[in-house]
Amino acid sequence: MDLSVLVLNLAKGMLVSFEIFILTLLFSLPLGLIVAFARMSDNKIIRNITRIYISIMRGTPLMLQLMVVYYGPYYLFEIPLPKGYRFFAVIIAFVLNYAAYFAEIYRGGIESIEVGQYEAAKVLGYTETQTFMKIILPQVIKRILPAITNEVITLIKDTSLAFTISVAEMFTAARAISAAQSSLMPFLVAGIFYYVFNFIVAFAMEWIESKLAYYK
C-alpha cells in the first residue's frame, strides 16, 4: 500500500481516537469532581457507595468494562442494541473509568488545602461556594495538574482499547491493514501518530501549568 494512502486511512482512524479522547475528557473531568465530593460526603451511605464505585472502576480492566457496557444490556436485560451503540458504549465505559481516577486526584488536591484557608475565607465573609470557586479550586487545579496530565496521556493510549468491541479507531485500522498487507509499517505509522498526539497534549498541559505558576 502506498504510504500516502496508508497515512490517510490511519488519519481517519485517528479522528475516531480523537473523538473518544475529547468526549471522555469533556464528561469525565466534571463527573470526577462530583464523584470526589460524594467520596468526601458526610453521608456514610453516599461515601461508601462512591468508594465501591471507585474501587470497581480502578480494580478491573478497562477492556472488561467496555465489554460489560456493550454486551450487558442485551445479556442482562435482553435489550436490543441500537445501531451505533458501539461508539456510545466506548464513551460510557471510558467516562465512568476515568471519572473514578480523576475523582481520587481531585480528592487528594482538595484535602491537601490547609484548613486555615477555609477559616480565613469564612472570617472575610465568603460563602462556601465562593470559598471553593475563588480560593480553593485554583490552588487545587495547580496542585493536581501533573497527575491530571499523566492520566490524559494514558487516555490517549487507552483509546486503542476501543478495538475490543470493534470500534474502528486508529489501532483497529492499523491492525486490519497490517494483516491484509503482511507488514509492520501500519503499526509504525500508528506509533508515530500516537507519539505526536501525546507530544502535543503534553506540550499544551505544560503551557497551562506555566500559566498557573503564579499560584505558587
Nearest to 112 by CA among 152, 133, 141: 141
For 29-70, the pLDDT digits (tens) are: 999 999 999 999 999 999 999 999 999 999 999 999 999 999
Mean per-residue pLDDT pooled into runs of 10, the chain (216 residues): 74 88 96 95 94 96 94 85 87 96 94 85 83 84 90 92 83 80 83 90 87 63
Q: Is the dihedral of CA 12, 31, 102, 90 positive or negative?
A: negative
Alpha-carbon span 10 to 101, nearest angstrom: 29
**Alpha-carbon distance 80 to 143, whole Å?**
45
pLDDT for 136: 85
* Distance between CA atoms of residues 44 and 41, nearest Å: 7
User: What's the confidence (pLDDT) of residue 137?
Assistant: 83
Q: What domains appear along the chain, each with residue ranges and CATH number?
A: 3-215 (1.10.3720.10)
Task: State if pTM tops 0.85.
Answer: yes
Q: What is the pLDDT of residue 74?
A: 84
